[in-house]
Amino acid sequence: MKHLLSTEDLSLSNAIRILDTAEEMSAVGEREVKKLPALRGRTVVNLFFEDSTRTRISFEAAAKRLSADVINFAAKGSSVSKGESLKDTAQTLSAMGADAVVIRHWASGAPHRLAATDWIDAAVINAGDGTHEHPTQALLDAFTMRRHWARLAGTGSEGTDLKGMRVAIAGDVLHSRVARSNVWLLRTLGAEVTLVAPPTLLPVGVDKWPCSVSYDLDQTLANGVDAMMMLRVQGERMNASFFPSTREYSRRWGFDDNRLRALDDLGMTDTIIMHPGPMNRGLEISAAAADSPRSTVLAQVRNGVSVRMAALYLLLSGDTREPAPHRVPAYAAAPSTKESN
């Protein structure tokens, strides 16, 4: 693995390796001194063409815990006419000696361009590109699900996959890089995925994806769900006639209090509720659902740092077959309270 660009082309063995390494990194986060010397002297650039404080500070924390030097580069106003081109920016970072570039870009495929061209030789990590992919988000989601799934099975999570887990992802799939990355990764890990959305917010061609598609959230829940992931709905979609009103959206596709109760009524005591954040409380998820013990929202944030440490470590530490240094016992049985906030 030289780059982490998408989960579509991430093999099962590489996915498991990242998740297992993240477990080890997670243990570091439990220590009093949360720092490893692994990437001392290496430079990680957070190149953000789009605002995302959450993702940036998560990568920043991950790189700093591995002792890397971190440069934050907010490159806004990126049109060719207005500012510096991606090529010039990349060559500039290359000249400064960047070892890894964590790139967030509003344009789908921008990380692929960095990786495919000779503009820069650094490892490229896709931190979200347009409506394409957000692989570290999918990895942290899978990490969170895997801990939950392993705990239910009464095993440790290291080395395990998500075989048999039923995952529903509801919301604006059309514009969601999170949904795309999750569909590919969850397929690779053996989960059964159902996308739930209004037909206007599903891409033409979704029928070829390795998942089921439903327009009916209640029916999907009734069929049985182990992890329910809600996607953020952008307010501007309403003005483009993707749905008639936010209230109608919320009634049909939001995870509201009725649906939260339905989980109990259906006897699905172990079903978790996930959200990549930031949440629109009252739109795609009710406050009660977001704050319920089923919610893994904060665990996802916490796990994000571990997964991003793993990705940086594996891409920058040379031989990716070697285990992480300072190997610590895996999380054999993560206390479930940690995963539910």
Partner 1 sequence: MAGNTGTYLIQGAAILGGDPADLLVRDGIIAEIGTGLGADGATVIDAAGLVVLPGMVDVHTHLREPGREDAETVETGTRAAALGGYTAVHAMANSTPVADTAGVVEQVYTLGRAAGWVDVRPVGAVTVGLAGEQLAELGAMADSRARVRMFSDDGICVHDPVLMRRALEYVKAFDGVVAQHAQEPRLTAGAQMNEGDVSAVLGLTGWPAVAEESIIARDVLLAQHVGSRLHVCHVSTAGSVEIIRWAKERGIDVTAEVTPHHLLLTDDLVRSYDPVFKVNPPLRTDADVQALRAGLADGTIDVVGTDHAPHPSEHKECEWAQAAMGMTGLETALSVVQHAMIETGLMTWADFARVTSTAAAKIGRLDDQGRPIEAGEPANIILVDPAARWTVDPFQMATMGRNSPFKGRELPGKVVATFFRGHPTVLDGALNTPHPDAAATPAGAA
Exposure string over 249-285, b if 16+ CB within 10 A, otherwise e: bbeebbbbeebbebbeeeebeebbbbbbbebbeebbb
Regarding 8 and contact with partner 1 (CB under 8 A), the answer is yes
**59, 143, 149, 209: residue in contact with partner 1 (rule CB under 8 A):** 209
33 vs 204, which CB is nearer to partner 1? 204
**108, 292, 317, 340: residue in contact with partner 1 (rule CB under 8 A):** 108
User: Considering only residues 188-207, where is the footprint of partner 1 by CB under 8 A?
Assistant: 203-206
φ and ψ at residue 167, rounded to 5 degrees? -115, 125
Regarding 74 and contact with partner 1 (CB under 8 A), the answer is no
φ and ψ at residue 339, rounded to 5 degrees? -90, -5
**What is the rounded distance in angstroms from the CA atom of residue 277 to the CA atom of residue 279?**
5
- Of 200, 282, 196, residue with least CA distance to 238: 200
205 vs 335, which CB is nearer to partner 1? 205
Count of C-beta atoms within a 10 Å radius of residue 234 = 13
Structure tokens belonging to residue 108: 């789908």
**17, 42, 166, 177: residue in contact with partner 1 (rule CB under 8 A):** 177
139 vs 174, which CB is nearer to partner 1? 174
Count of C-beta atoms within a 10 Å radius of residue 123 = 23
Q: Smallest distance from the beta carbon of 263 to partner 1, in angstroms?
A: 30
- Of 128, 129, 210, 217, residue with least CA distance to 169: 217
Regarding 333 and contact with partner 1 (CB under 8 A), the answer is no
Q: Smallest distance from the beta carbon of 212 to partner 1, in angstroms?
A: 15
User: Considering only residues 78-107, where is the footprint of partner 1 by CB under 8 A?
Assistant: 78-80, 85-87, 105-107
Task: Give residues in contact with partner 1 (CB under 8 A).
Answer: 8, 78-80, 85-87, 105-110, 112-113, 116-117, 129-133, 177, 180, 203-206, 208-209
